Structure 1
Amino acid sequence: MDGPPVVQPPERRGFGTRLLERALAHDLGLGSAVALRFEPAGLLAAVRFPPAP
C-alpha cells in the first residue's frame, strides 16, 4: 500500500514467490493456479481454483 514502487521484476524466484506459486496452487487442489505479476504499483496475484463440490 505504501511500499516502494516495483522498478523491475525480481531477477530470481525466492522462497516466498515459490511458496505462493507452487504450494498454494497444490494445496487448493487439481485445476488450481497462481500467477504473479510485478507491476510498478506492487505485486498482483491471480489465484484460480475450482469450486467445492
Structure 2
Amino acid sequence: MADAQDPRPTPPEQPDDSECCRSGCDPCIFDLYQQELEEYRLKLKEWEARQAG
C-alpha cells in the first residue's frame, strides 16, 4: 500500500492531437510529453523500488 508521505507518481497527461499547431515548433508539445513520460517512468521505477524495500 502506498505511503501518504511517498505517493505513487502520476503519469503526465497525453496531449490531444488537436493541441499540436503543426508549425514545426521545437520542441513540439509531443516532444515535451515524451520527456515527461520518460521522467515519469524513471520516478515510477524508483518509487516501486522504495515500496519493495
**TM-score scaled to structure 1, two decimals?**
0.27
Q: Would you tell me which structure has more helix in proportion to its own residues?
A: 2
**TM-score scaled to structure 2, two decimals?**
0.27
Greater Rg over alpha carbons, structure: 2
Q: Would you tell me which structure has more strand in proportion to its own residues?
A: 1
Structure with larger RCO (C-alpha < 8 A, sep 6+): 2
